[in-house]
Every structure is written in C-alpha cells, then in structure tokens.
Amino acid sequence: MILAKTEEEIELLRLNNELVSKTLAEVAKLIRPGVTTLELDKRAEEYIRDNGAKPGFLGYNGYPNTLCTSVNSAVVHGIPKSVALKDGDIVSVDCGTFLHGFYGDSAYTFTIGEVSPEVQRLIKVTRECLELGIDKAVDGLRVGDISNAVQHHAETNGYSVVRELVGHGLGRNMHEKPEVPNYGARGNGPKLVSGMVICIEPMINMGGKGVIQERDGWTIRTADGKPSAHFELAVVIRKNKAERLSTFKYIDEVLKAAN
C-alpha cells in the first residue's frame, strides 16, 4: 500500500529536504582538487547536526558515514576516504537527513577542476534526465512514465541506464514504496497520486549498463570502469506539476559565485 502524505507530513519532509539541499551547498563550498571525500563528509555531518538534525545515512543498514561519495566509475554508495580528489574527477555526493521523524534525500554530481567535454556531456544529460522524469511526476500518470522519460533521453544520447538501483518513496523511512526505476514502459507501474513523495534519481553510465559491487560491501561501480553520473531530488506528486522538496539552487549559487 502506497500512502499519500498529509500536508503536515509534507511540511516536515520539506524541512528535511531543504536542509539536505543546503548541506550539499556546504559541500560545494569546499569541493576542489586536493580535498578528500572524508573532509567533505565531516563538514556535512557538522552542518546537519548544527541544524538540529541527524545524518540520515550514518548507521543506516550499518553504513559508516554521513555522505555517499562516488568518484568517476563509482555509481553510488561510495564510502568517503582520505584520498584527495584530483583535477578531472567527477563525484556524486548523496546526502540524507533525519529530523522530526522524517527523512531528506538528494544527490548531485560535481566536477573537480577541468573535466573532459565527454564527461561534462554525460553530467548534463543525466541532469536533463532528472528534469524530464520530474515532468512526468504528476497525478494520474504512472511510475513507468517517469522511468521511460529518463531511459529514453539517456539512451537517445548514447548512454546506458543502471538497472539494479532505483529511486524510491520517501517519508518516515528512507526507502518506501514505490520503487522508481530509471527504465521501463510508459503506462506501467503504480499509479501516481497527489501527496505521494518520491525521490527520482537517474544513474546514467557512459559505457554499458552493467555494475559490480566492491569488496567494501557498499560501493557500486560500472563493470567497464567508465564514468557514471547521478542526480537526485525529492518531489511531491501534484495535479499538474510536481512540487520539489529538495533543490539544486543553493549548489548552483555557490558554484556560480566560485566561477
């Protein structure tokens, strides 16, 4: 049973997702060549706790950190390390919060220094996939309409879609029904109803769709070692247009000011 959230619950989800969005902007202020993903993780945890919340990922199913930091060919769930980011890297930073009994969840793929045009294009198309998915997150459509929009745009541009990992409902639990795959057929899957809250998160590979799990038990990497990009926002299903709970505006402001 997939339950729509009450407006009161949506407000608490909004608080969490606003905080997640601002936490990722704090990461954006620090991220550059020479910084370690562990340093980013430390700052994110401090910021979340300073704002009265708890890191949503820390301890979740035994996960050891506040952020997931997935570099280059890592798709998702990369564990922060004391290895410095270097010029030309890309890193998906995924963050969660827990406040007032609800979760927030968002992810953004950052470029480090000068990144090749090919990789920049992968990131651009992946973010477009997210926007196209959100366009379909409206009352009366189905999950498959979101999935198909993401898949069609990725594959039309020559990329592949990860099958093993999906978006999800969000609420009192980090992962709720429905699952929101990034591939599928229009008109299929659970019906979207006003008040449902979901996370849409395209994970798009430059090469093949295959992935492997590393020995750390967490990191998911492309099987062919080619780069992967990942963006995630939480939205509320509404009648004519999805309402965004998390946002990239704070990140975009920081990155624009840095340039």
| CA–CA distances in Å: residue 60 to residues 103, 192, 218, 219 | 12, 27, 12, 15
Phi, then psi, of 250 in degrees rounded to 5:
-70, -40
Q: Whole-model pTM?
A: 0.97
Task: Report, in this order, helix, strand and coil percent for the chain, each rounded to 5.
Answer: 30, 25, 40
Q: What per-residue confidence (pLDDT) applies to 3?
A: 83
Q: What per-residue confidence (pLDDT) applies to 2?
A: 76
- pLDDT for 119-131, tens place per residue? 999 999 999 999 9
Q: What is the largest CA-CA distance in the chain?
A: 48
Tokens coding 218: 């967490």
Tokens coding 124: 């651009």
Residue ranges of the chain with per-residue pLDDT less than 50: none
Mind listing the domains of the chain with CATH numbers?
Answer: 7-258 (3.90.230.10)
Q: What per-residue confidence (pLDDT) applies to 259?
A: 78
d(C-alpha 15, C-alpha 11), whole Å: 6
Chain position carrying tokens 């430390």: 42
Q: What per-residue confidence (pLDDT) applies to 88?
A: 98
